[in-house]
Structures are given as C-alpha cells and as structure tokens.
Amino acid sequence: MSLLNEYIAKRMSANDLEQELLTLIGKYNKLRNTYLIVSSAAISKPIPAISLTMDDYYIIYDLLRKIPSKKLDFYLETPGGSGETAEEIVRFIRSKFDDIAFVISGEAKSAGTIMTLSANDILMTKSGSLGPIDAQVRIGRSVVSAYDYMDWVKDKRKYAQRNGRLNPFDATMIAQVSPGELNGVNNALNFASDLVTEWLPKYKFQNWTQTETKKKTVSEAMKKQRAKEIVKHLINHEKWRSHGRSIKIEDLERIGLKITEVDANPNLADVVYRIQTVIKLLFSSTNVYKIFATENEKIFASAATVGTPPAMGPQQAEVVNLDVKCEKCGKVHHLYAKLIANPKVDEEAKKQGFVKFPENNKLICDCKFEIDLTGIKNDIEAQTGKKIIT
C-alpha cells in the first residue's frame, strides 16, 4: 500500500496529521542525531504569498534562535521567491549552526536552490528536485530570464561591432533599454552567482580534500573553480530552457555536485517520504498554504475565502453573518458571529439557517476539508471592537 493510501485509510483529522508531522520530525532527529526544521509551501495553491518572503525568515529565526544544537537539518519545499530572503535565512543559520544539511524530497526551486547550495550536505530523495538559479526580472510587461536578456544584449553588441549598425527592429528595441535597467538586470544575474560561488567552497566543499579518481590534494583554488563551473551550469537558462525545470540527483552529480541519496537508507527514506506525504495531506485537506515545524513547535499560514461582513459601528454590532466557501468542494457555509450575550441572537440566526462561529476557529466541511477562521475572527473583532462570543 502506498503511503498516501495508508494515511487516507486511517481517516486522520487535521489535528491528527499535525501531531503525526511532529512525531515524524522526532523520529528523523533520532535517526540523524540532528535538529530538523520543516519549511514547506503548497506550491500548487494559487496564492501570491506562496513564494519565499521575509515573513518566512522571521518565522524561521523565531523557531531556531534559542536552539542549543550545533547541527541542523532543513527540510525545504518552495517554488522560490526573494533571493534577499534566501540570503538572510542562510546568513542566520550559518551564524548559529556548524553543520547544516538540506533535505529535498519535493521541489526547492530558484531561491530555494540558492539556499540549498549553502549546505555542508544535500540529502535528496528520488522525487526531490532543485532548479536553475538564473534570476527572473520584469522587463516592461513581461518577466524574463536575466541570463537570456543579457545574452540577447551581448549578441546585439557583437552584431553592431561586426556590421557597424543594427537592423531597424533591434535598434528600436535597444533604444528602449536604459543604462539603469541594464545595470539592474546584470546585478540580478550576478546576485545568485556571487552567493553560491562564495558558499559552495566554504561549506559544501569544506571537507573535500582529495579528488576521487586521481587522489590529488584539493586546493582552495580548485574548490573555487568547481564552484564557478557549477554556477555556470545552474544560471544557464539556455541549458535548462525553463526556470521551473526540475534538476534531479543525476543532473546535479553530472555538473560536479555530490548528493547524499536518501533512498539508499531505507529507514531514513521512510521517515522523509512520510513527512512529505503528511504535509501534502495537510495542504489538500485544509486551507493551510505554508508549514513551519520542528519537533516541538508548528506555525501554519492559512487563507480563507469569505464574504464581506456588513459595515457597522461598534455600538450597533450584535451579530455578523458571513459566508465561507470551501476551496476544495465549493460548498458555502453560512455562519454567524455573536457579539452580545443574548440568547435571542442564537434563536434568530438558527431560524435563518446560520451556524454558530466555531469555538476553536476551525470549520470542518462535509468533504472533511478544514478551514481556519482565525484571520476572519480577528478581522471581525477589529472592525466591531467586540469579541466574538462562542
């Protein structure tokens, strides 16, 4: 039986799945004698905040700042996002932990790949993938590869040098490029390159002292050269064709990056795949779109679709009726939030087919999807100046 079907057959609630995730992190820590943090985004959910942002940095900082361990494993799933955020997270964890491994079982693209390349070791399952690190920049109304853009500019320069001029179409296009814009694109391209070129020799190649085949002593110059070669491959948009391309274990080893294969250790693989499965079930059965967790703590980011409560002043607010739509099955739930201690409010609301706002701020749909209403509760209380009575 697949892991997914095993967990589905257990008919676990969202709370059960949350506890299972913490238990699995504990098992992982014992197997690896380390401290694991999970940072995972629901890549398939169409939510702008799904990408890596500075909010992620502050959450990770808060979860790890008091941890006494000097060894950290970092389970990462992200579509990418802010390169500056990736740098902030890495600077923090590298200042606190001596030995860091990144664990990749899903996707860790773009800025996620940049983070991963700061590790002493990279653990990957066969399902895991990194991605190209060529920066994506906005030119006019389009988002394009910085590598492709600079390659195009260089090509036009060579053409002009050979022919003494540009053709009318290219001349029109080049005329729209400002020096500042060109400099910005070039800086965006070099940002990831500079970080990874610095981090690989310092951390990933830290204990690389001898070549595998010829047994030659590895110098710092050799480490830096290997890092430059790897970066050249990873920023080459022409090679990968797509910024979302999945770069697997064999691709990474082909360009000179050694990877520790999780599947070679059956016990470890079982725990890692279970962590991945539980996370996917939490994403698919709730409105959670980001998970941060350690063995003892968890922080979830969630979103909900809700109708706009009627506008009212604090003095006249007695009850707020609202509609909450399940993003999984589409059912609309009619709720009422009671703001005064009057039993008649309950009687009238129930007559109209409304259900009382849940005490634990969690609404379970008929399809078993769990909707976190914490944000909605906060909005209502902020607008009305009153507490919801449950």
239-261 pLDDT tens trace: 655 556 789 999 999 999 999 99
Residue 123, CA distances (Å) to 26, 109, 269 in order: 18, 15, 10
| Length reported for the chain | 390
Range list for CATH 3.90.226 in the chain = 3-131+244-302
User: Which amino acid is present at 279?
Assistant: I
DSSP state of 67: -
To which H or E segment does residue 333 belong? Answer: strand 332-338
User: In angstroms, what CA-CA distances link 387 with 243, 338, 339, 343, 362?
Assistant: 47, 9, 6, 16, 17
CB 230 within 8 A of CB 257: yes
Taking only the tens place, the pLDDT of each residue in 53-63 is: 999 999 999 99
Alpha-carbon gap, residue 238 to 178, rounded angstroms = 24
What was the pLDDT predicted at 144? 57
Provide CB contacts within 8 A for 201, sequence distance 6+. 220, 223, 224, 226, 227
Could you tell me which CATH number the domain at 3-131+244-302 has?
3.90.226
* 199, 193 contact by CB (below 8 A): no
Question: In this predicted structure, what is the pLDDT of residue 379?
Answer: 76
Give residue-wise pLDDT tens across range 110-150: 889 999 999 999 999 999 999 888 765 565 655 556 666 66
| Beta-bridge partners for 306 | 324
* Amino acid present at 194: D
d(CA 65, CA 264): 32
By 3-state DSSP, what share of the chain in percent is helix, strand and coil, each rounded to 5? Answer: 45, 20, 35
180, HSE (Cβ side, Cα atoms, 13 Å): 0
101 or 388, which is more confident: 101
Q: Are 52 and 78 in contact (CB under 8 A)?
A: yes
Tally of CA atoms within 13 A in the half-sphere of 200 that contains its CB = 24
The CB-side HSE value for 161 (13 A sphere, CA atoms) comes to 6
pLDDT greater than 60 at residue 89: yes
